[in-house]
């Protein structure tokens, strides 16, 4: 494990940990930290909120509200967008306080949009036609 990433991992984890009392910690060790909107017995991929993962070349933060709510992507600065890989992952090799402050706002907004509701992710996936195989199936079957 690369010690250069200790500060990056700690800082990114610190962005998510204030939400732990309102969510469920679904994983925590030296290489990762993960939050879920649902307790273990009712989790599915649509209830996952976000995580920090220490990799070999960078530390990543994953934010699922960005994945399922496209309007959140519109708020991302060009500088943060350069760190983006895929739809919900941002990679860092060093602490960048300006970008981390932006991530704090993005996480807060994402959490506020979910209102702590585990069903939010499934509903968003259905609304944006990206429903998970099983989760959200009951929403797709419901007529408007």
57 DSSP assignment:
S
> What Å distances lie between residue 81 and 25, 35, 91, 130, CA to CA?
27, 23, 10, 22
In the chain, where are the structural domains located? Answer: 3-140
Q: What is the pTM of this model?
A: 0.83
pLDDT digits (tens, 9 = 90+) for 70-107: 889 999 999 999 999 998 999 999 999 999 999 999 99
Alpha helix ranges (H) inside 17-96: 64-68, 70-73, 78-81
Residue 141: both structure tokens together: 């079957």
Q: How far is residue 121's CA from residue 102's CA, in Å, rounded to a whole number? A: 22
pLDDT digits (tens, 9 = 90+) for 132-144: 545 445 444 454 4
Residue 17: both structure tokens together: 């940990």
Residue 79: both structure tokens together: 């500088």
Residue 129: both structure tokens together: 């036609």
pLDDT digits (tens, 9 = 90+) for 113-134: 887 777 777 666 676 666 554 5
Per the CB < 8 A criterion, the answer to whether 13 and 97 are in contact is no
pLDDT digits (tens, 9 = 90+) for 21-77: 999 999 999 999 999 988 888 877 778 899 999 999 999 999 999 988 888 999 999
- Which pLDDT does position 144 carry in this prediction? 47
How many of the other CB atoms lie within 10 Å of CB of 108? 13
Does the pLDDT of residue 5 top 80, yes or no? yes
Q: Assess if CATH 3.90.1150 describes domain 3-140.
A: yes
- Which pLDDT does position 115 carry in this prediction? 74
Q: How far is residue 84's CA from residue 87's CA, in Å, rounded to a whole number? A: 7
- Which pLDDT does position 113 carry in this prediction? 86
């Amino acid at each position: 494990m690369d010690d250069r990433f200790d500060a990056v991992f700690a800082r990114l984890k610190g962005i998510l940990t204030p939400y732990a009392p309102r969510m469920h910690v679904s994983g925590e060790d030296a290489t990762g930290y993960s939050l879920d909107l649902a307790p273990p017995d009712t989790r599915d991929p649509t209830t996952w909120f976000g995580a920090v993962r220490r990799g070999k070349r960078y530390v990543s933060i994953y934010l699922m509200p960005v994945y399922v709510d496209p309007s959140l992507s519109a708020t991302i600065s060009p500088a943060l967008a350069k760190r983006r890989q895929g739809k919900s992952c941002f990679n860092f090799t060093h602490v960048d306080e300006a970008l981390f402050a932006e991530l704090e706002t993005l996480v807060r907004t994402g959490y506020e949009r979910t209102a702590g509701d585990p069903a939010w992710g499934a509903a968003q996936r259905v609304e944006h036609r990206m429903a998970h195989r099983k989760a959200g199936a009951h929403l797709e079957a419901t007529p408007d």
